[in-house]
Structure 1
Amino acid sequence: MYSLELANSKELEVCYEIIEEGRAFQKEQGFVQWTEAYPNRDTIEADIEKKKGYVIKAQQEILGYMCIDFDGEPAYDDIKGAWRSDAPYAVVHRMAFSKKARGKGIADIAFGLIDELCINKGVKYNRVDTDFPNKRMQHILKKNGYVYCGTIVFQNGDKLAYDKLL
């Protein structure tokens, strides 16, 4: 049984370790989306303090980390393309999974749990972005009902923008 829970300050080190594993995995895939500067430990600590950092767990073991932000993303205001809705939305940023969770469909499970969380909070619209070379995430997004909407600039680079109506 999997759960999606707010991360707490005691889990910061595990969450950041998962981000580091994600950064290394990106390099193994032949691209750099996350630099040493972003996301850094302070980014994850701020997510947790602002109640935007979430963990996915199985039997109380943390398998993944992500930021789910219900306050919107200013970078999404300027899109080359068009979002499919102007409704309030949740943004998913900084999604990463531990090495031991890879290849087990955990990203699909996470997106299902994110949908449930959003619906429970009365938010029926999600947005997300990813880098052009991140083919794995693009595939996961499409498989989970996200639709390509255009490009945005985030962290000083063009990103592919996707949304999902719940």
Structure 2
Amino acid sequence: MIRRAKISEISDIMAITRECAAFMMAKGIYQWNEHYPSKEGFLLDIKRNELYVLKSEKKVIGTIVISTHMDAEYIPIKWLTENKNNCYIHRLSVHPDFQGKGYAQKMMDFAENTARQNGFLSVRLDTFSQNKRNQKFYKTRGYHKLGDIFFPKQSEHPFHCYELVL
């Protein structure tokens, strides 16, 4: 079940993202660290009603942010659609114990269907240039790679921006 996150779940959410960060680092992917994702960021997501959790057997096992806010880092990107009616995906995570079972697909289906139901022109996101698995995941879903942005607190490597026109 996917639903909006609650403040009371913040410790579970942070535990999942820490586990995901450690799992990626063990594979040489230094995408998430002590700066990102942050508790403050997730609390803001909850306040904006943009953070969703995936639950399985009464346990939070994943997160996804579906936002209407365009981060300043995205401004230089030449998007496929106008910058006026888009949604942005951030902080998609599935606890490592539950990866490879289609949960990320399920959350992206939910996000894309939510975007369609709300009349958005497109879904936009970024993924780490060193995370080939994620790049393949989004390309397979029909996303188009458009350009690179940088998050210096996370990595010296770029993040690729993607867009799916709905």
TM-score (norm 2): 0.89
The answer to whether structure 1 residue 62 and structure 2 residue 57 are counterparts is no
Provide closer, same or farther for how the CA distance between residues 66 and 24 of structure 1 changes in structure 2, counting only shifts above 3 A. same
**2:70 partner amino acid:** G
Superposed, which structure 2 residues align to 1:21-100 within 5 Å?
Answer: 21-79=19-77, 82-86=78-82, 87-100=84-97
What does residue 110 of structure 1 align with? 107
Q: Match for residue 164 of structure 1?
A: 164
Residues 44 and 53, structure 1, Cα contact 8 Å, conserved in 2: yes
Q: Is the 8 A contact 2:64 2:107 kept in 1?
A: no
Query: What is aligned with 1:120?
Result: 117
Distance 2:135 2:26 in 1: 17
Q: Note if contact 1:89-1:123 (Cα within 8 Å) is conserved in structure 2.
A: yes
Instruction: Give the conservation status (yes or no) of the 8 Å contact 1:9–1:48.
Output: yes
Instruction: Indicate the RMSD between aligned Cα atoms, in angstroms.
Output: 1.7
Amino acid at match of 1:83: W
- Residue 38 of structure 1 aligns to a residue whose secondary structure is coil
Structure 1 gaps, min length 5:
none
**Secondary structure of the structure 1 residue equivalent to 2:31:** coil
SS at match of 1:90: strand
Runs ≥4 residues deviating over 6 A: none
The two structures have a TM-score, normalised by structure 1, of 0.89
Partner in structure 2 of residue 12 of structure 1? 10
Give the letter aligned to residue 132 of structure 1: S
User: How many residues align structurally?
Assistant: 162
Q: 1:101 aligns with which of 98, 101, 115?
A: 98
| Identical aligned residues as a percent | 27
Name the SS for the 2:34 alignment partner. Answer: coil
- CA distance in 2 between counterparts of 1:99 and 1:92 reads 20
- C-alpha contact 1:107 1:140 (8 A) present in aligned 2: no
| Structure 2 unmatched ranges of 5 or more | none
8 Å CA contact 1:4–1:114 kept in 2: the answer is no
